[in-house]
Chains A and B, each alone.
Chain A
């Protein structure tokens, strides 16, 4: 029975995928593709409920079982309930304080911390082992940082910086993006022909 259900779900997934692909590329079955898209949007929307249940399940268990990270879980559940209550009570001002003043301030301070983490990362790269790649990275970083300084004496460095960003950095980024896109296409094709592991097991 389980195998039959698995086969049926695989057949449905492949059929829907193929119909959507043909519909989006050629413009045929406009009504059917719109309906399938609506079903997908509703299903994804329903997963929000799964997320809320998952969140409360994990953290309430941790609070009741007095597991590690109890304080964090308590803060998370209380914040969750607070935000829900503010929405139910339609307390616009209090909601703005929570979402903008508290959340944005915390994220801004974390962003500042991010800079320190990145500097530490560059230091760690060289400390671990001095390699040609590490030296090249540090040299490029220094040229980029020095080249941005507004001094006329540093104009040649600024030109090297502009070239570095326009040619090698841009070419490398495009190469990586093409590789990622090819991988995505192959994964999608593998799913469409029923060879993804989620279908097979």
Chain B
């Protein structure tokens, strides 16, 4: 990492740290002041969970390609939050949901999410862990894992599918399976190809950064709401940083370079 990249990274990390640390207490003090935009994928979760409870069939949650101990760790935490929020809603039912994971380091994370969700409903004794978390080995673009999900949902007569993680175009297979068996599907892939396919094929798709909003949209606790505030603040900063060069170029064209000269004098550039 060269010095400029390192300096920029430190600045971004410090900024994100400060914004997150300030946003969470703010959200705790004023939870009612924060309005979240409706996201169809999250609005569908109670319906999908309700169908599982009413039909007495398990819901299938698949988490692909994420685990603890590396770059995907934040995504693993986001997937764990989605799992927790969905399982909380099916914990009242008779059947333990199936959580299929592709990374071994995700097994304890998924199991913990199941346990916490059942405990939050006071139904820990109803959890059947031997049926809950299931590991199936998968490579980075494993079509076999995607095909396996079709078989798993069919053999267990799953009532619905929630797919999250690093799915690419292969997410088409389980979504096709869900459409053929007429079960609802919610997809939250983080790969661009996976998002494109999910937009077309899933009943409800969580696109872009929406996968990280599960806690705020479905839980509504202060830490999750604060994270949304921080995320939005950082997003506006990025938009401003992207627009600034365009404003300078247009301003220079209109004022014969006055904007550049003003910025140079303010920031002390140009030697």
Residue A4 interfacial (CB < 8 Å): no
A187 to B172, CA, bound (A): 28
Categorize the interface residue count of chain A: 35 or more
Beyond A25-B10, A190-B223, whether A175 also contacts B208 by CB under 8 A is yes
A26 to B143, CA, bound (A): 40
- Chain A 19-48 residues near chain B, CB threshold 8 A: 21, 25-26, 40-41, 43-44, 47-48
Q: Are B175 and A186 in contact (CB under 8 A)?
A: no
Q: Report the minimum CB–CB distance from A29 to chain B (whole Å).
A: 15
Q: Are B107 and A185 in contact (CB under 8 A)?
A: no
Checking B20, B67, B137 against A186 with a beta-carbon cut-off of 8 angstroms, the contacting residue is B20
For A106, A120, A175, A191, which residue has the most chain B Cβ atoms within 10 angstroms? A120
For B74, B108, B143, B157, which residue has the most chain A Cβ atoms within 10 angstroms? B74
Q: Report the minimum CB–CB distance from A65 to chain B (whole Å).
A: 10
- Chain A 115-170 residues near chain B, CB threshold 8 A: 117-118, 120-122, 124-125, 137
Q: Report the minimum CB–CB distance from A153 to chain B (whole Å).
A: 29
Beyond A179-B209, A187-B227, whether A103 also contacts B144 by CB under 8 A is yes
Q: Are B104 and A117 in contact (CB under 8 A)?
A: no
Q: Are A184 and B143 in contact (CB under 8 A)?
A: no
Q: Are A51 and B179 in contact (CB under 8 A)?
A: no
Q: Report the minimum CB–CB distance from A120 to chain B (whole Å).
A: 6
A21 to B144, CA, bound (A): 36
Q: Are B107 and A51 in contact (CB under 8 A)?
A: yes
Q: Are A176 and B212 in contact (CB under 8 A)?
A: no
Chain A residues whose C-beta falls within 8 Å of the C-beta of B170 in the assembled complex:
114
Residue B192 interfacial (CB < 8 Å): yes
Interface string of B133-154 (1 = CB under 8 A from A): 1111100001110110001100
Q: Are B20 and A180 in contact (CB under 8 A)?
A: no
Q: Are B200 and A121 in contact (CB under 8 A)?
A: yes
Residue A72 interfacial (CB < 8 Å): yes
Q: Are B16 and A189 in contact (CB under 8 A)?
A: yes
Beyond A120-B176, A124-B179, A198-B112, whether A58 also contacts B223 by CB under 8 A is no
Residue A200 interfacial (CB < 8 Å): yes
Q: Report the minimum CB–CB distance from B174 to chain A (whole Å).
A: 9
Q: Are A186 and B179 in contact (CB under 8 A)?
A: no
A28 to B223, CA, bound (A): 31
A21 to B208, CA, bound (A): 26
A72 to B156, CA, bound (A): 11
Chain B residues whose C-beta falls within 8 Å of the C-beta of A103 in the assembled complex:
144
- Chain B 144-186 residues near chain A, CB threshold 8 A: 144, 146-147, 151-152, 155-157, 169-170, 172-173, 175-176, 179
Residue B217 interfacial (CB < 8 Å): no
Checking B17, B119, B190 against A180 with a beta-carbon cut-off of 8 angstroms, the contacting residue is B190
Not counting A69-B151, A183-B74, A187-B75, a sample of 17 additional A-B residue pairs whose C-beta atoms are within 8 angstroms of each other reads A21-B13, A44-B70, A50-B107, A68-B157, A107-B142, A118-B172, A120-B179, A124-B179, A176-B192, A182-B231, A182-B235, A182-B238, A183-B231, A190-B20, A193-B24, A197-B215, A198-B77
Chain B residues packing against A (C-beta within 8 Å): 6, 9-10, 12-13, 16-17, 20-21, 24, 67-70, 73-75, 77-78, 80-81, 84, 104-105, 107-109, 112, 116, 119-120, 130-131, 133-137, 142-144, 146-147, 151-152, 155-157, 169-170, 172-173, 175-176, 179, 190, 192, 195, 197, 200-201, 207-209, 211-212, 215, 219, 221, 223-224, 226-227, 230-231, 234-235, 238
- Sample 17 A-B pairs with CB under 8 A, ordered by A number: A51-B104, A55-B134, A58-B130, A61-B130, A68-B155, A114-B170, A117-B172, A120-B201, A122-B200, A176-B208, A186-B231, A191-B73, A193-B17, A195-B227, A197-B81, A197-B221, A200-B223
Chain A residues packing against B (C-beta within 8 Å): 21, 25-26, 40-41, 43-44, 47-48, 50-51, 54-55, 57-58, 61, 68-69, 72, 103, 106-107, 110-111, 113-114, 117-118, 120-122, 124-125, 137, 173, 175-180, 182-193, 195-198, 200-201
The 5 closest A-B pairs by CB, nearest first: A69-B155, A51-B104, A183-B212, A121-B201, A179-B209
